[in-house]
Amino acid sequence: MLQKISGSSFLLLALISLIILFSNLGGIPLLDPDEPVYAQTPKEMLQSADLISPQIYGEFWYDKPPMYYWLVAGAYQLFGVNEFAARFPSALLGLITVLYIYVMGTRFFGERAGFFSALILVTSIEFFYLGKAAVTDITLTLCLTIALLSFIDKKYYLFYIFAGLATVTKGPVGVLFPGAIIVLYIALTQRWTELKSMKLPAGIFIYAAVALPWYVIMYQLHGAAFIDTFIGFHNVTRFTSPEHPEGVLWYYFIPVLLLGFFPWSAVMLQAAWSSLTSSNRGFSKLAFLNIWAWFIFLFFTVSRTKLVSYILPMYPPLAMIVGWYIATLLERRTKRGQTAWAAALLVLGLLLTGVCILGSREMPQLMWGAYAAAVVFGLIAVLGSYWLWKNEIKRVLGLQIAAMAVFSVIFVTMLLPAVEQYFSSQQFAKEFQAKYDGNSPVYVVKFLRPGLAFYADFYGTEIESNWGDAPLLAEVVEKEKKENRKAYFIIQQMQYKKLSAEHQQELQVLVKVADSMVLLKE
C-alpha cells in the first residue's frame, strides 16, 4: 500500500537541506583546479556567444558534455559571474535529489524510511561537500537517480529521458551505468520478461532524441578531433590508464566510502546484509538498490583513474538501504545488530576526532574550526555509541543529523576560510595582476591555470604535463634565457624546489601566496 508524503516532514527536510547545501555557498573562493574549470568554461561560452562548443583559455575542449556548463551559464545570467552562481546548480540539484529520495523512499518502503533515507543522504560528508561544489557530480547523480528509480517504479519513459540527460552530463556512463545495472538485476533475479515491458523501441528513440543532438552537432562542427579526444581520451583512456598514478590503489575507495558516507558508513554493511537476507515485501527493490550501489563501487575500483567524487552516484541507493534498515529496527524494537553499529561508530568517530586534533597541530590556522569539528565527531562517537548500546535509536538519529548539519556549517564558515589561500587562486591572481607588466610572456603550471583564468582573466601558456613536474619548467627557463627576454612563471612551490640552484638564482620571487609563486626572469 502506497503511503502519503507528510507535508511537515517534507518542509523540515527541505529546511535542513537548505541549511546544509546553501550555507556560505558563495563565501568561499573557487577551489583549484576543478571548480575554476567548471566556472571558467561557461564564462567563455557566454563571452563567445557559443553555447554548443565548450571552450577554455580561448580554445575548444572536449573534456565533458555541456549540461553543467549550460546550468552555470543560466545561473550567471541570473546572479552574475561569481562563486555563488557557479555552485548554485549543484546546490539546487542536490536539494532536488534529497527531496526525490524522500518521495521515492516513501513510495517504496513507507514514510518513515523515506524520511530517514533523505536525511541520511544530505548529512553524509561527500554528498553535502559535492553539493556545494562547482563540479558535474551532483548533476550526474540526480539524473542517474531519477533514471534508475524510474525503472524500478516502471516509469520507463522517464527512465529513458534521464538516461539521456545523464549522457549529456557526463558522457557514455550516462547510459552504461543504467544499462549494466538493469541487466545485472534482470539476470540475477531472472526477470527477463521485464525487457518486454520496457518499451525498448520507443525508449531508444526517446533516449536518442535527448542524448544525441549535441554529439551530432559537435561532430559536424569539429569532426574527428571531437570523437578522438572526447571518446578516446576522456572516457576509454581514463578507464584503462591512470590520470593520477599516485592514486592507483585497489583499496582507494574503501576509505573514501567510510569517510564520505560518515556517519552512516558505521551501519551501511549490516544494512546491506539485512536487506538481502531478511524476508520482506520490498526485497526486489532492495536487491536492485544493492546492485546499483555496489556496481558503481566495483566499477571505479577496477577503473585505473580514481577520484574521490566518482562513487557519489552510489550514495542515493545506499542511503535508501540504510534508511529502510533503521526504520525496520525501530519497528521491530530489537537490539540485534546494534552492537556492531555502536562499535563501528565509536571507532570511526574517534578516528575523525583524532584527525581534527592532529590537523590543528599541523596547521594552527585551523585550530578553532578543527576543535569545533572534533567536538562534533567526538559527540557522535561517544554519545551515539552509548545510545545505541541503550537501544535509543531515535536519539542516535537526531544526534547524527543535528551534528552533521552543524559540521557542514563549521566546514564552510571556519575550516575552509582558514585555509582558502592554500586551495584557491583568488588572492594569488590579484597579486599577480598587480605585479604583471602587461606585455611579457607568462608561463603557468596546469594546476593553477584555471584559477588564474577565472580570477585574472588571463590564460598564459601552460608548461606542465604531469603534476609536480619540473623538467619542462627548466626547459622553458633555458629557452627564455637564450632569447634574452623578460618572462613570468606561475608555479607551485613543489616545482620551484625541483629546479636547480642555478635556475632558482636566475628567477626573482615576485609573489608568494601559500604554495603558489610568481617568478620573474629579467
Q: 371-402 pLDDT, tens per residue? A: 999 999 999 999 999 999 988 999 999 999 99
Cis peptide before 33 (omega within 30 of 0): yes
Phi and psi, residue 304, nearest 5°: -80, -30
- Which three cell numbers mark 5? 508524503
Ramachandran area for residue 443 (φ above 0: left; ψ -120 to 50: alpha; else beta)? beta
Report pTM.
0.92
- Which three cell numbers mark 136? 558535474
Q: In terms of C-beta distances under 8 Å and separation of at least 24 residues, what long-range contacts does 288-291 make, across chains too?
A: 288/148, 288/152, 288/181, 288/185, 289/317, 289/318, 289/320, 289/321, 290/317, 290/321, 291/181, 291/184, 291/185, 291/188
Q: Please report, as a single letter, which amino acid is at residue 16.
A: I
Alpha-carbon distance of 369 to 360, in angstroms, equals 8
Alpha-carbon distance of 203 to 160, in angstroms, equals 6
| Beta carbons of 30 and 90 less than 8 angstroms apart | no
Taken as a whole, the chain contains a residue count of 522
Q: Please report, as a single letter, which amino acid is at residue 194.
A: E
In the chain the first and final C-alpha atoms are separated, in Å, by 78
Alpha-carbon distance of 105 to 108, in angstroms, equals 5
| Beta carbons of 36 and 47 less than 8 angstroms apart | no
Helices (H), 80-110: 83-109
Alpha-carbon distance of 35 to 376, in angstroms, equals 28
Q: Give bridge partners of residue 55 from the DSSP assignment.
A: 60
Q: CB neighbours of 498 closer than 8 A, spacing ≥ 6?
A: 468, 470, 473
Strands (E), 166-230: none
- In 3D space, the residue among 84, 32, 27, 25 whose CA is nearest the CA of residue 514 turns out to be 32
Alpha-carbon distance of 226 to 240, in angstroms, equals 19
Largest pairwise CA distance in the chain: 80
Alpha-carbon distance of 274 to 332, in angstroms, equals 13
Query: Residue 233's pLDDT is what?
Result: 47
Vertex 95: Cα angle to 90 and 101 (nearest 5): 120
Q: In what order do the strands lie in the sheet with 516-521?
A: 461-462, 442-444, 487-492, 516-521, 508-513
Query: Residue 339's pLDDT is what?
Result: 87
Query: Residue 77's pLDDT is what?
Result: 97
DSSP code string of 127-166: HHHHTTSSSSHHHHHHHHHHHHHHHHTT-HHHHHHHHHHH
Query: Residue 304's pLDDT is what?
Result: 77
Query: Residue 136's pLDDT is what?
Result: 95
Q: For the chain, which ranges sit under pLDDT 70?
A: 1-3, 231-248, 279, 281-282, 333-337, 464-471
